[in-house]
Amino acid sequence: MLLPATSSLRAEELVFKGLKQGLTLFIPEKESFGHWLTLLDQRLNAAKDFFQGGTILVELGERKLTPGELAGLRKILGKYRMRIKDFNPIAKKRFVPRSKEQSPISTGVLLVKGTVRSGQRMENEGDIVVKGDLNPGGEIVATGDIIVLGALRGVAHAGAGGNMQAEIVAFSLSPVQLRIAHLISRAPEGRKGRQGPEVAYIKGEKIVVERL
């Protein structure tokens, strides 16, 4: 999956691509890092509805980052509620100083006891289980599956980072928005909740919802 106006993986291009390990940002070794940060900000702003939220892998090739460059990268990604999941192995070995590297994030299950209310946002590298409702204005983002043991009426993004096998399960699905990997779906107008447990998943090139 490439950003708009990007057509190939040539070494001189700033590219987002959905790989098996997740959404990956390729930053070329040529030009200054500041140049690519400016371009990254412009690209993300142009596609902010698509890239808002989630985690990302960063491929730097042989480039090594200073603490200031790393801070600049995280600041721009943070504007669009994105986090760095990991760097490529070469960048890890060459990053200076090593003590500034981002700590690994758990890939287990996040259990949320109670309702996710308006203004709350839950994120996890792995699955999320909510023992309650997801209210309008609330948001859940997981790289794995999302299970809501109640009514899902907010925004749920499963498979953040590109996992197209992820699923969203809820006792009642009446979302403001559902996202799985890069695909987005909204509940049809007039759809009533409390229809019993349902699951949303990717079939072909769209998100489908079925009764359990």
- Residue 132: predicted pLDDT: 93
Q: What CA–CA distance (Å, rounded) separates 209 from 196?
A: 12
Q: Which one-letter DSSP state was computed for residue 83?
A: E
Closest CA to 54 of 119, 132, 125: 125
Q: What CA–CA distance (Å, rounded) separates 144 from 154?
A: 18
- Domains of the chain by start residue, with CATH: 15-100 (3.30.750), 109-211 (2.160.20.70)
Q: Which token pair is 162?
A: 């590109």
- Residue 11: predicted pLDDT: 46
Q: Which residue has the higher pLDDT, 99 or 137?
A: 137
Closest CA to 167 of 196, 127, 136: 127
Residue 86 has pLDDT above 90, yes or no: no
- Residue 207: predicted pLDDT: 93
Contact 178/185 with Cβ under 8 angstroms? yes
What residue type is assigned to position 182 of the chain?
H
Q: What CA–CA distance (Å, rounded) separates 32 from 94?
A: 17
Write down the residue that tokens 């006792």 correspond to. Answer: 171
Contact 155/139 with Cβ under 8 angstroms? yes
Contact 161/22 with Cβ under 8 angstroms? yes
Compute the average pLDDT of residues 192-209.
82
Please state, rounded to an integer, the average pLDDT across all residues of the chain.
79
Of the listed ranges 32-41, 110-119, 193-202, the one predicted with least confidence: 193-202
Which segment, 85-94, 158-167, 183-192, is predicted with the most confidence on average?
A: 158-167
Distance of alpha carbon 164 from the chain centroid: 12
